[in-house]
A and B are shown apart, each in its own frame.
Chain A
Amino acid sequence: MADALLSVEDLRVSFATEEGVVEAVDGVSFDLAAGEVLAVVGESGSGKSVTAMTLMGLTRSPNARFEGTAQYKGTELIGASEDELRRVRGAEIAMIFQDPMTSLNPVQRIGKQIVEQIQEHEGLPDQQARERTVELLERVGIPRARERVDNYPHEFSGGMRQRVMIALALSCNPSVLIADEPTTALDVTIQAQILQRMRDLREETGAAVILVTHDLGVVADIADRIAVMYAGRIVEEGTLDQIFYDPQHPYTWGLLGSITRVDKPRPARLPAIAGLPPSLANRPQGCHFRPRCPHEFSECSKVPPLEAHVQGNPEHRDRCWLSVDEKLAKREVLPGEIGLASKEHAPA
Chain B
Amino acid sequence: MGRFIVRRVIQMVLVMFAVSVLTFLIFNVIPNSDPAVRMSGRQASESTIEAIREEWGFNDSLPQQYITTMEKVITGDLKSQFTQLSVGKEIVKGLPRTFSLAIGAALLWMFVAICFGLYSAVKAGKFADRFLTIIALIGISMPVFWIGALANYYLGFKLGWFPNGGYVEFTEDPIDWFYHLILPWTVLAILFIGFYSRVLRSNVLDTINEDYVRTARAKGLGERQIMIRHVLRNSMIPIVTLWGLDFGAVLGGGAILTETVFDLQGVGQYTAEAIGQLDVPPVLAVTMFSAFFIVLLNAVVDILYAYLDPRIRLQ
Contacts and interface: CB of A to CB of B under 8 A. Distances in A.
In the complex they form, whether A and B have CB atoms below 8 Å apart is answered with yes
B221 A120 contact: yes
B311 A106 contact: yes
Interface stretch (A84-92, A255-263, A292-300, A327-335): A84-92
B234 A89 contact: no
A134 interface: no
A37 interface: no
B212 A106 contact: yes
A342 interface: no
A90 B219 contact: yes
B201 to A, nearest CB: 17
A106 B222 CA distance: 20
Contacts of B310: 106-107, 152, 154
A117 B216 CA distance: 8
A168 interface: yes
B223 A82 contact: yes
B212 A88 contact: no
- Range, interface on chain B: 20 to 34
A88 B217 CA distance: 11
B219 A97 contact: no
B214 A58 contact: yes
Nearest to A106: B311
A56 interface: yes
Contacts, number: 77
B220 interface: yes
Contacts of B311: 106-107, 152, 154
B314 to A, nearest CB: 8
Contacts of A90: 218-220
Contact of A105 (B125, B222, B230): B230
A121 B309 contact: no
B232 to A, nearest CB: 11
A104 B215 CA distance: 7
Given A62-B125, A107-B310, A120 B211 contact: no
Tell me the interface secondary structure of chain B in the complex.
helix
A46 B166 CA distance: 68
A91 B212 contact: no
A152 B225 CA distance: 20
A40 interface: no
A107 B220 contact: no
Interface in B189-233: 210-212, 214-223, 225, 229-230, 233
A38 interface: no
B221 to A, nearest CB: 6
Given A58-B217, A88-B220, A97-B211, 18 more contacts: A62-B125, A86-B222, A89-B217, A89-B219, A90-B220, A97-B214, A97-B215, A102-B211, A103-B211, A103-B212, A104-B215, A105-B212, A105-B230, A106-B311, A117-B221, A120-B225, A154-B310, A168-B219
30 contacts: A58-B217, A60-B217, A85-B220, A86-B220, A89-B218, A89-B219, A90-B220, A97-B211, A97-B214, A97-B215, A97-B218, A99-B211, A103-B212, A103-B215, A104-B212, A105-B212, A105-B215, A105-B230, A106-B309, A107-B237, A107-B308, A107-B309, A107-B311, A108-B229, A116-B229, A120-B225, A154-B310, A154-B311, A154-B314, A168-B219
Interface of A: 56, 58, 60, 62, 82, 85-91, 94-95, 97, 99, 102-108, 113, 116-117, 120-121, 152, 154, 165, 168
Interface of B: 125, 210-212, 214-223, 225, 229-230, 233-234, 237, 308-311, 314
